[in-house]
């Protein structure tokens, strides 16, 4: 029986099948290294189909071998870097332990600061990637005659924003917005900036343009509804906020905004319903505080105290919750508990008068304690006026809800 062997393409020595390298010269063994037509001249013509396939297999084998070698080198480099990182981390932990023993640093606080820094860096990278994606989308949405000028303003604006020069960047984007028609991504981005800065009138102007171009964008509907409500356009605001909840589901910002609008109309039952939905959507100290204030307004002191205590349990530094809780206890005749609640409020940075010296001043302080006093429906600052913490929670939730990518996916 003839023994099959694999002959080396360089020294022609026989090697057992399955061996990768020649035992004599060390060359990597392959099936074919050169086409038969370059080695033989036959009368029958060119190489057969089988020979051609063998040539292709040999070429693939050679490339695969090179790729394997590169992957091995890459893996070795990664292992070395992982080992170096491990040793660096061990050294840092040893230094932190030494400094902690000497009382120079607090290890737990340092760990928390490090985690916060890493999270902030990750968020900044994600935001930078989002802005780059948005820049490409804005440029693709432009169909005007001044393409080069528009592109220069857009690129300049985003470069300024990336370089932490936000004001200059927004000015460049506003100049670009003057040249664009129907560019919903650009209008939405600029409107979102002014909404975040609390400039609801300017935000409303840009968000209106974005809504005209993209009426199905849930995020734009939500922000525009809140901006309209803050400017006293209650009917328009309720329409947009209800539309946002129908298209994209519940959000704290939408239901809280609707609740404040109903309070301005003294429609207490609908306001209570919306605040309960806001709490169900996002349990938070602000949501419990809002319900507690509304129950205090409705003279339902037991429920008010329950929600205010929950707000305090979630955030023991919630000064306003302590103050309103003191008012609830005072109205119930529990002066001892009221004094303790007022003392807690007094221990924080709180500017409201806690112990008015006359009944008139007491009534004024009590009226200022809750942000949910009835007012005319056309009054401005309904949503963001009166309580800075609630206003900040409203903006923060609205800006986080229904990002642009999710809004588009819902309507594909």
Domain for residue 352, yes or no? yes
State yes or no: pLDDT of 372 exceeds 70. Answer: no
Measured between alpha carbons, how far is 33 from 8 in angstroms, rounded to an integer?
10
Domain for residue 243, yes or no? no
Number of domains in the chain: 2
Domain for residue 141, yes or no? no
Domain for residue 22, yes or no? yes
pLDDT reported for residue 367: 46
Cα–Cα distances (Å) from 355 to 295, 297, 326, 346, in that order, read 23, 20, 11, 10
Under 8 Å between Cβ of 15 and 23:
yes
Domain for residue 328, yes or no? yes
Domain for residue 79, yes or no? no
- Residue 7, SS3? strand
Residue 11 belongs to domain spanning: 1-29
Domain for residue 365, yes or no? yes
- CATH number for the domain spanning 359: value is 1.25.40.10
- The 10s digit of each residue's pLDDT in 174-209 is 999 998 888 999 999 999 999 998 898 999 999 999
pLDDT reported for residue 259: 92
Measured between alpha carbons, how far is 113 from 308 in angstroms, rounded to an integer?
31
CA 239 to chain centre: 26
- The 10s digit of each residue's pLDDT in 202-260 is 999 999 999 998 898 999 999 999 999 988 889 999 999 999 998 888 889 999 999 99
Domain for residue 313, yes or no? yes
- The 10s digit of each residue's pLDDT in 66-124 is 888 889 989 999 999 888 888 888 888 888 788 888 778 787 887 888 888 888 888 88
Model confidence pTM above 0.85? no
- The 10s digit of each residue's pLDDT in 23-71 is 888 787 776 545 554 444 444 555 567 766 776 787 788 788 888 888 9
State yes or no: pLDDT of 404 exceeds 60. Answer: no
């Amino acid at each position: 029986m003839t023994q099959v062997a694999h002959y080396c393409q360089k020294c022609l020595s026989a090697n057992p099948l399955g061996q990768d390298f020649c035992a004599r010269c060390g060359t990597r063994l392959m099936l074919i290294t050169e086409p038969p037509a370059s080695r033989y001249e036959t009368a029958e013509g060119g190489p057969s189909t089988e020979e051609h396939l063998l040539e292709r297999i040999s070429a693939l084998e050679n490339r695969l071998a090179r790729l394997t070698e590169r992957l091995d080198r890459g893996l070795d480099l990664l292992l070395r870097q992982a080992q170096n990182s491990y040793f660096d981390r061990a050294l840092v932990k040893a230094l932190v332990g030494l400094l902690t023993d000497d009382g120079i640093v607090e290890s737990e606080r340092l760990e928390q600061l490090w985690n916060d820094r890493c999270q902030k860096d990750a968020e900044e990278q994600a935001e930078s990637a989002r802005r780059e994606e948005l820049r490409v989308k804005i440029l693709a949405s432009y169909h005007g005659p001044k393409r080069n000028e528009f592109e220069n303003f857009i690129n300049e604006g985003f470069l300024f924003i990336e370089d932490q020069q936000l004001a200059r960047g927004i000015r460049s984007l506003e100049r670009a917005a003057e040249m664009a028609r129907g560019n919903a991504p650009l209008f939405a981005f600029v409107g979102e900036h002014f909404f975040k800065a609390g400039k609801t009138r300017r935000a409303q102007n840009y968000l209106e343009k974005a809504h005209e171009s993209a009426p199905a964008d849930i995020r734009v509907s939500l922000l525009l509804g809140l901006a309209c409500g803050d400017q006293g356009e209650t009917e328009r605001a309720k329409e947009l906020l209800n539309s946002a909840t129908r298209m994209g589901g519940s959000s704290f910002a939408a239901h809280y905004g609707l609740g404040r609008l109903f309070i301005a109309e003294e429609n207490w039952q609908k306001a209570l319903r919306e605040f309960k939905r806001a709490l169900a959507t996002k349990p938070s100290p602000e949501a419990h505080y809002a319900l507690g204030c509304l129950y205090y307004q409705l003279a339902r002191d037991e429920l008010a105290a329950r929600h205010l205590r929950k707000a305090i349990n979630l955030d023991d530094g919630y000064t306003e919750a302590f103050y309103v809780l003191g008012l609830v206890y005072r109205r119930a005749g529990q002066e001892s508990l009221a004094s303790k609640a007022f003392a807690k409020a007094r221990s924080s940075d709180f500017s409201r008068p806690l112990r008015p010296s006359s009944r008139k001043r007491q009534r004024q302080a009590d009226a200022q304690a809750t942000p949910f006093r009835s007012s005319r429906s056309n009054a401005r600052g309904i949503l963001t006026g009166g309580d800075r913490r609630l206003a900040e929670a409203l903006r923060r939730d609205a800006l986080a809800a229904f990002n642009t990518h999710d809004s588009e996916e819902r309507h594909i």
